[in-house]
């Protein structure tokens, strides 16, 4: 029985080491969801998935992109893509009240993909995810910048705000980054 426990503990340690060994530093963090007490540990929650990471704001000319981001989320979710929003007021267009920001996301635009609580996405105050994205591909110049991250944790594309989530350019990049295309 003791040997079985030792083997189980060793396999468990090996497995958890493997999970985190493949996780890039910029994703090896936990952050709170928007208007919630629930947190997400990105490596654990999204291991092996492609990520479309977007800095969002409730009162921006690009805010209607929530609709096409949700469409992309629904289209590619079963293929291994996670759309991940990061609420930010870096460009002074996010509501100061998280509940109101959440209402825009989840009620007005019926977003079902995860949105992270309001935080900085550029400069020295950037949250760790956007610090990694910024160093790899450049910091956002405005709201609704989109970063495509491969299942291996590599930043493969950075799209400006003006690139629509459902554009042919975006769809081609997403399809090339999906886990099934990485085999």
> What's the longest Cα–Cα distance across the chain?
63
**Three-state SS for 34?**
coil
Q: Is 60 a catalytic residue?
A: yes
- Give residue for tokens 């996405």: 121
pLDDT for 14 beyond 50:
no
pLDDT in tens, 138-182: 999 999 999 999 999 999 999 999 999 999 999 999 999 998 876
Query: Catalytic: which of 23, 43, 60, 105?
Result: 60
So what's the architecture of 24-182 in CATH? 3-Layer(aba) Sandwich (3.40)
Length of the chain: 183
pLDDT of residue 17: 37
Report the mean per-residue pLDDT for the chain.
Answer: 90
pLDDT of residue 182: 66
pTM over 0.85: yes
* Residue 127 burial (C-beta neighbours within 10 Å; 0-12, 13-18, 19+): buried
pLDDT for 11 beyond 50:
no
Residue 44 confidence class, pLDDT cut points 50, 70, 90: very high
Mean pLDDT of 23-38: 96
Structural domain boundaries in the chain: 24-182
């Amino acid at each position: 029985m003791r040997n079985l426990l030792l083997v189980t503990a060793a396999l468990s340690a090996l497995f958890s080491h493997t999970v985190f060994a493949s996780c890039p530093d910029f994703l090896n963090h936990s952050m709170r969801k928007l208007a919630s007490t629930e947190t997400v540990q990105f490596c654990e929650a999204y291991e092996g998935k492609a990520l479309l990471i977007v800095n969002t704001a409730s009162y921006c000319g690009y805010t209607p992109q929530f609709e096409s981001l949700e469409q992309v989320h629904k289209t590619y979710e079963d293929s291994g893509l996670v759309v991940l929003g990061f609420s930010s007021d870096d460009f002074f267009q996010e509501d100061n009240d998280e509940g109101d920001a959440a209402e825009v996301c989840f009620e007005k635009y019926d977003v079902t993909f995860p949105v992270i609580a309001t935080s900085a996405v550029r400069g020295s105050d950037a949250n760790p995810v956007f610090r990694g994205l910024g160093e790899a591909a450049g910091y956002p110049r405005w709201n609704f910048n989109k970063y495509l991250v491969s299942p291996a944790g590599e930043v493969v594309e950075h799209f400006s705000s003006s690139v629509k989530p459902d554009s042919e350019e975006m769809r081609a990049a997403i399809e090339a980054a999906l886990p099934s295309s990485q085999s």
